[in-house]
């Protein structure tokens, strides 16, 4: 008989990320799970549960119809027994899910980059009896914890606690990009549209302020490859507040292939009366192909002056490709978003948390070495160097 702990996990949303989180939990967790997978579309929930169960020949995933505004008796029964609610629904529904988690004493984890809804959830979570970790995906989420890790390492190395700059950059990209959009839809088009249109939160000269998304586009080279970067909404999470008075300049930018942002800006400027997220989503689906082959680029840099007055920098980058989990291959955007959420779920289930937990409050080293995150975000450059070193050692042994 297994001595492993068992948890009941409610996942709201059976789309690409919801099913990826469920797959990671059933395949990689160091505890047993029963997954209650909810979706407003019954066939979607059933198909996702069947897909998850087939991976391990179990019945660990159970589908149900999810109604965010008026939960059914079946859904409320599941809430009664669930230990945690993992919210993979559109950001507009996050406050409703948060209130449900609080009412039924479930831990709560979500993904959304929506700023107003996150502020509402922070109020909901203040006096919760369980833990609420918000914005736990890729960006916001992983990239913010990585930035906090680099800050800790930088200040320990140089003996200072103030920075000149902290920059977070992420791109969910197609492998190939062609005229006119230089883009391929690899994740939620409504999420892309929203982050392009809503304002971005930055820190300039120690002051937090909002600036227009897409207001500045610059080229950038990461690991020898050229991209372009621009401000977009939501990716900075709580770091502008957490590093108030500590970092002179802080921002989050989204990476794209060169030429994409000009296409988007032309599209918006030519249709000034239609600029809503719904409209832009329709344009993306109309003109941009949906692609399966993808990669995720993550780049974080921190910069500051050491005790001698010399400018120092510390950087970290990842390039993540699709990954095999059990019998399936997850897209890069699926695994890089699902792994941080699963890691935060594990943190809450195995820890002792109450109330709001922000990205800046997560212990970076423990998070980055966690069983879910470390399997997806591997340091491929270090692994390549180690492999090349081994080949050199083998070659040398043959010579001598």
Average pLDDT along the chain, 400 residues, taken 10 residues at a time: 87 96 97 97 96 92 92 95 96 94 97 88 95 96 97 94 96 92 89 92 96 96 97 94 96 97 94 86 92 93 94 97 96 97 98 93 96 90 44 36
List Cα–Cα distances, 161 to 26, 120, 238, 360, in angstroms. 41, 31, 18, 15
Domain assignment present for 390: no
Distance of CA 133 to the CA centre of its chain: 12
Number of separate domains in the chain: 2
Please tell me the predicted confidence (pLDDT) of residue 165.
98
pTM flag (> 0.85): yes
CATH number at residue 166: 3.30.360.10
pLDDT at 385: 39
Residues 184 and 310 in one domain: yes
Range of the domain at 130: 6-134+331-376
Residue 371 and residue 275 in one domain: no
What string of H, E and C letters represents the secondary structure of 368-390? HCCCCHHHHCCCHHHHHHHHHHH
Beta bridge pairs of residue 231? 253
* pLDDT at residue number 398: 36
Which has the closest alpha carbon to 326: 14, 58, 111?
Answer: 58
233 and 184 assigned to the same domain: yes
Same domain, 56 and 99: yes
Q: What pLDDT was estimated at residue 12?
A: 98
CATH code of the domain in which 76 resides: 3.40.50.720
Asked if residue 400 is part of any domain, the answer here is: no
**Which structure tokens are listed for 37?**
């997978």
Residue pair 184/288 in contact (Cβ under 8 Å)? The answer is: yes
Number of continuous H segments (helices) and E segments (strands) in the chain = 14, 17
Q: Let me know if residue 55 belongs to a domain.
A: yes
Is residue 76 left, alpha or beta, with left meaning phi > 0 and alpha meaning psi from -120 to 50?
alpha
* 262 within domain boundaries: yes
Same domain, 46 and 95: yes
pLDDT at position 16: 94
Beta bridge partners of 102: none
**First and final CA of the chain: distance in angstroms?**
54
Domain-embedded: residue 273: yes
Indicate if 293 and 167 belong to the same structural domain.
yes
């Amino acid at each position: 008989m297994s001595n492993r702990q068992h948890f009941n996990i409610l996942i709201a949303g059976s789309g690409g990320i919801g099913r990826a989180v469920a797959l990671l939990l059933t395949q990689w967790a160091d505890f047993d799970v029963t997954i209650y997978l909810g979706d407003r579309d019954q066939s979607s929930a059933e198909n996702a549960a069947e897909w998850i169960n087939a991976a391990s020949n179990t019945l660990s995933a159970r589908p149900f119809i999810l109604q965010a505004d008026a939960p059914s008796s079946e859904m409320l029964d599941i809430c009664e027994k669930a230990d945690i609610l993992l919210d993979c629904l559109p950001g507009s529904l996050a406050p409703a899910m948060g209130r449900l988690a609080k009412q039924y004493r479930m831990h709560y984890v979500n993904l959304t980059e929506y700023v107003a809804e996150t502020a509402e959830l922070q109020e909901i979570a203040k006096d919760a009896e369980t833990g609420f970790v918000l914005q736990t995906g890729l960006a916001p989420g992983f990239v913010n914890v990585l930035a906090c890790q680099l800050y800790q390492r930088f200040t320990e190395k140089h003996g200072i606690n103030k920075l000149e700059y902290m920059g977070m950059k992420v791109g969910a990209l197609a492998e190939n990009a062609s005229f006119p959009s230089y883009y391929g839809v690899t994740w939620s088009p409504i999420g892309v549209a929203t982050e392009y249109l809503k304002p971005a939160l930055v820190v300039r000269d120690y002051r937090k302020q909002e600036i227009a998304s897409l207001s500045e586009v610059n080229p950038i080279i990461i690991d020898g490859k050229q991209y372009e970067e621009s401000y977009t909404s939501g990716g900075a999470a709580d770091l502008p507040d957490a590093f108030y008075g500590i970092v002179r300049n802080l921002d989050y930018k989204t990476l794209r292939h060169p030429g994409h942002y000009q296409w988007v800006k032309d599209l918006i400027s030519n249709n000034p009366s239609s600029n809503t997220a719904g409209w832009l989503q329709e344009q993306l689906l109309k003109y941009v192909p949906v692609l399966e082959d993808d990669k995720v680029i993550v780049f974080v840099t921190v910069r500051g002056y050491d005790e001698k007055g010399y400018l120092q920098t510390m950087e970290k980058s990842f390039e993540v490709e699709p990954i095999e989990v059990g019998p399936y291959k997850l897209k890069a955007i699926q695994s890089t978003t699902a792994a941080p959420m699963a890691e935060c779920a594990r943190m809450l289930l195995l820890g002792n948390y109450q109330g709001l937990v922000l990205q800046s409050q997560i212990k970076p080293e423990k998070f980055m070495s966690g069983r879910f995150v470390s399997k997806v975000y591997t340091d491929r450059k270090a692994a390549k160097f180690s492999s090349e070193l081994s080949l050199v050692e083998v070659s040398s042994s043959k010579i001598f």
